[in-house]
Amino acid sequence: MASASSSIKNDEGIEKKAKHYTSANLATIFKKELADQFSSSRFTILFFLIMITGAVSFYAAVQNISGASAGDSEFVLVKIFTRAGNSLPPFTWFLSLLGPLVGLSMGFDAINGEQNRGTMSRLLSQPIYRDDVINGKFLARLAVLAIMTFALGGFVAGMGILLTGVAPSAEEIVRLLLYLALSIVYMAFWLVLSMLFSLLFRQTATSALGGIALWLLFSIFVPLLAGMVADAVFPVSDQSPAITQLYNIELKQGLARLSPATLYSEASVTLLSPDVRTLGPVLAEQASGAIMGFLPLGQSLLLIWPHLTGLIAATLIIFAATYTLFLRQEIRA
């Protein structure tokens, strides 16, 4: 009995040391990757791009900020992010365009870049687990994306509060934080996708072009193809009945939502525009007698819950594929 209990204690001690060793390695890789990202010229370029985006989007909101706050004092803060200028799109448009590019630029050379430089084999020759390497690379880049996103959103929100002089409500702050968190998840999707391409392709230029091609497919061609398929299945004309038009719109929306860009766009509009009460077609009978008003935060979250689940699930699935491929990949000096 004494020998059995002592062996159990030894096993527990070895397990605790292994967990501590793994967490220490993960922290080391995370700090190393974070320092590399902050000290790289890529981060400097992205930082100035982020600052220019914030300044331009804030200027677009300033052009109509008096109209946003003069009529009522409700949800003025979120209107800054959704209101477009006379010739400039709103903040949400800029972030939906910039987010995928930032995510792709952060990860397209995460693996093959080190392989081409010969540093990956030297890194794995150390007593470091492979899962610590891939997890540390992803978490460090995700931290950089989170810092840039919250810094940009905080800058626009702070300048808007100073300009309007209207204190935001608790619901506005929560809606804005949820929107920024949603943006981070959206950029994380493109980050893990670019990391997957950096595993599949040895050349960094090829992995970058593959990510950009997929971004163009999801952002431009999927909505176009969704409309073409819907028109082919349910042709619509001036004499078409209402039910055919309804089926056409529903099929078009369903196919377009296969794109993460569509999911992010609809979820962003719902979070930042409390007056959005539905994302699908509404019949005249359904709209008859409806009372105008703002949708509570809980109802807005229920409305976009499938969108959030889809984005998070797609990100986790691609990361799992990247994780598995990296563990099985042969790394040679």
Residue 116 forms part of a structural domain: yes
Residue 6 forms part of a structural domain: no
Q: What DSSP state is assigned to residue 220? A: I
CB 258 within 8 A of CB 311: no
SS (H, E, C) 228-285: HHHHHHCCCCCCCCHHHHHHHHHHHHHHHCCCHHHHHHHHHHHHHCCCCCCCCCCCHH
Residue 53 forms part of a structural domain: yes
Residue 9 forms part of a structural domain: no
Which two tokens mark 272? 């930042």
Q: Could you tell me which residues come within 8 angstroms of residue 37 by beta carbon, excluding any fewer than 6 positions away?
A: 43, 106, 140, 141, 144
Residue 89 forms part of a structural domain: yes
Residue 184 forms part of a structural domain: yes
Phi, psi dihedrals of residue 191, rounded to the nearest 5°? -65, -50
d(CA 20, CA 27): 11
What is each CA distance from 224 to 16, 216, 217, 252, 262, in whole angstroms?
A: 54, 12, 10, 9, 12
Each residue's pLDDT, cut to its tens digit, for the chain (333 residues) gives 445 455 444 545 445 544 554 678 888 889 988 988 888 888 888 888 877 877 777 776 666 665 545 455 577 788 888 877 666 778 888 888 888 999 999 989 888 888 888 788 888 777 888 888 999 999 999 999 999 899 888 888 888 788 777 778 888 899 999 999 999 999 999 999 999 999 999 888 899 999 999 999 998 899 999 989 988 888 887 777 878 888 888 889 889 999 999 999 999 989 988 888 788 766 555 555 556 667 888 888 999 999 999 999 999 999 999 999 998 887 665
CA R_g for the chain: 24
One-letter amino acid for residue 177 of the chain: L
By C-alpha distance, which of 223, 244, 222 is closest to 233?
A: 244
Residue 7 forms part of a structural domain: no
Residue 333 forms part of a structural domain: no
* Domains of the chain: total: 1
d(CA 184, CA 149): 7
Range of the domain at 161: 21-328
What is each CA distance from 107 to 194, 236, 319, in whole angstroms?
A: 5, 43, 12
